[in-house]
Amino acid sequence: MIQKHIFGSPFETEAVVKKVQKSNEAPAYGAVSLDNGFTFSYTMDEEDIVYGLGEANRGLNKRGYCYISNCTDDPNHTEDKRSLYGAHNFILISGKQTFGLFFDYPSTITFDIGYTRSNILKVCCERADLALYVIEGSSPYDIVKQFRGIIGRSYIPPKFAFGFGQSRWGYKTKEDFYRVARGYRENHIPLDMIYMDIDYMQSYKDFTVNEENFQDFGQFVQEMKDQNIRLIPIIDAGVKVEEGYQVYEEGVKNRYFCQREDGSDFVAAVWPGDTHFPDVLNTEAREWFGDQYRFLTDQGIEGFWNDMNEPAIFYSREGMEELKDILKKYAEYETEPIPVWELEGTLKKLANNPEDYRRFYHNVNGQRVRHDLVHNLFGFNMTRAAGEAFERIAPDKRFLMFSRSSYIGMHRYGGIWTGDNKSWWSHILLNLKMMPSLNMCGFLYTGADLGGFGADTTRDLLLRWLALGVFTPLMRNHTALGTREQECYQFENVEDFRSVIEARYRLVPYLYSEYMKAALENDMYMKPLAFVYPEDDFAVRVEDQMMLGNEIMIAPIYEQNAKGRYVYLPEEMLFVKFGRDGSITEEFLDKGHHYVEVALYEVPLFIRRGKCIPVVEAALSVEELCTQKPQMLGYKGAEYVLFEDDGVHKDFENKNNYRVLTKK
């Protein structure tokens, strides 16, 4: 059962698409105070677990810290960070009383989950204009499904998007892309996508291609496709300010950019230097911006990643002027001794400054809305612009689309990647813990930069992270400019990388099938053990193993130099390892604790008692996989219902998409 409570005059975020009856009563749980903005408080039982918040820091159980939904471009995901790129305001209290809460509020909102006082959950925001959904159900899992039911079906990518992708900030020329394609194909490591970061553009201008480096771009796209490799370009939120650049000229002429209070177009510096932000909250401007993607789809492009859409601001004109004044004081020794930390702080405040987000406006149905009041909707609507455009461009076709910034609702238009992580072992674990939380909020097509974006990776870190990436729908190796080369073929014993990535391809039919079922049934692709074994007190607290689909459990290794790991089995399971040259080892393990050995080149998984999964031969691309007669792994006599379609069109409801497979 879902109750909707309205406070003040909420902004229509369009996160919820199904009509929910409005309640005139007070929320069934906790207490709401409107004395100072909005505050919801609830006294938690000592044993309560709090799930949710999608793309957020720390654990699966969010208790014990304070999180702030305020979409932020911050490349340092250290434990103390309270805001990342997304705003996913759904939480789920599981324990003495079990219920879900969705705070549909598009600006900054704080979740103090036992941080100030260990038993108090406090959710507050500055303005009491929001919709609060209270969801009751038979279990936490049931509550998630109900919530997913009202926010609409999750985005479904094309099947090639379940292949492996290579990315790097710094590929500049055709030759760079040929080299990557060769590196993978010659080493017989499967690959379906190469991502094009900002350097493919002309001076970082959206919807342009550097003409010198990419002559006959359409032909180049086709050449790659002939090898079953798709090129996936990046699109940034800011449109470069440059006379003669058509996108800029059109946007200015039609008033499609966000404006300052005085009506002038707001200027924010990002990669291209000065840019304007398309007003994606305005229907007409959104349609216009979406239509720009045609420039690339017309040349054969079938997928994109949307970036810098918090929107990130390196600095504004206003911010720079203020900074100059402050620096002048230091330069003239007006303050002595010079407070260096303060100086450093002043410089840091230049980027993504809250002041700047109050300096520009959207035009929403003729109403001016100051950006900071709807800040968390920008990435959502930029991606929606693309998603809506794809419907116009090729209504029957699926496009690959994922975004950095997001709000619940965007999950209908695209997936997300988790932004600029680091080549740190702790970030493997963060990646794992975030996955089910994201699924709760509707984001199924997700993944992290495997190997780590910032800092130099190591061979073992990349291998272990890829072994987790085998199971994340988005499996992409991406790294920052200036870091060590991170393509799989750059390391010794390349066959180890081949084994790990081949395991992914062998599992694609199963992973895709489970993804499709999750998307079509408002279900989760990855879930906490607690959702499957709620009666098992130990399983309920496990955070470094996850259930994937309905058949398997995963337990990645996330420590350097570890030969394996401890794992808890809530029931008897078949322990499977994908090894070298297509070998598979199987061992039945009893319920309980075990230490399992896993070599760097192996991919482990656990099949639940009484279940089975299909496995196929590896191939160099998803398209080349032969799924006619899969090998079945698991328990004798078990059946598996495989979902399989062409992976290109949207014939989701066809009964012929399902096929029953039996383990003999």
Residues that bind ligand GLC (CB under 6 A): 169, 197-198, 234, 307, 404, 419-420
Least separation in angstroms between CB 204 and ligand GLC: 9
Least separation in angstroms between CB 233 and ligand GLC: 11
Residue 231 or 234 with smaller CB distance to ligand GLC? 234
| Helix H or strand E segment including 234 | strand 230-236
Two structure tokens written together for 229: 């490799």
Residue 201 or 554 with smaller CB distance to ligand GLC? 201
Least separation in angstroms between CB 128 and ligand GLC: 34
Residue 307 or 645 with smaller CB distance to ligand GLC? 307
Residue 16 or 448 with smaller CB distance to ligand GLC? 448
C-beta separation of 546 from 554 below 8 A: yes
Radius of gyration of the chain (CA): 25
State whether residue 92 is helix, strand or coil.
Answer: strand
Residue 14 or 197 with smaller CB distance to ligand GLC? 197
For residue 266, list its beta bridge partners: none
348 CB-near residues (< 8 Å, 6+ apart): none
Two structure tokens written together for 254: 């039609």
**Which candidate, 43, 65, 46, places its Cα nearest to that of 56?**
65
Least separation in angstroms between CB 241 and ligand GLC: 19
**Which candidate, 435, 413, 348, places its Cα nearest to that of 60?**
435
**DSSP code of residue 523:** -
Q: Is 326 exposed, middle or buried (0-12, 13-18, 19+ CB in 10 A)?
A: middle
Backbone angles phi, psi at 89, to 5 degrees: -85, 40
Dist CA 542 CA 309 (whole Å): 34
Least separation in angstroms between CB 600 and ligand GLC: 26
- How, if at all, do strands 592-597 and 361-364 pair? unpaired
Amino acid at residue number 146: Q
Residue 234 or 466 with smaller CB distance to ligand GLC? 234
Least separation in angstroms between CB 199 and ligand GLC: 8
Q: How many CB atoms lie within 10 A of CB 564?
A: 16
Least separation in angstroms between CB 167 and ligand GLC: 7
Residue 208 or 657 with smaller CB distance to ligand GLC? 208
C-beta separation of 371 from 357 below 8 A: yes
> Which residue lies nearest ligand GLC, judged by its C-beta?
169
Residue 123 or 237 with smaller CB distance to ligand GLC? 237
492 CB-side CA count, 13 A: 2
**DSSP code of residue 131:** E
- How, if at all, do strands 552-554 and 546-548 pair? antiparallel
Least separation in angstroms between CB 354 and ligand GLC: 20
Residue 290 or 419 with smaller CB distance to ligand GLC? 419
Least separation in angstroms between CB 404 and ligand GLC: 6
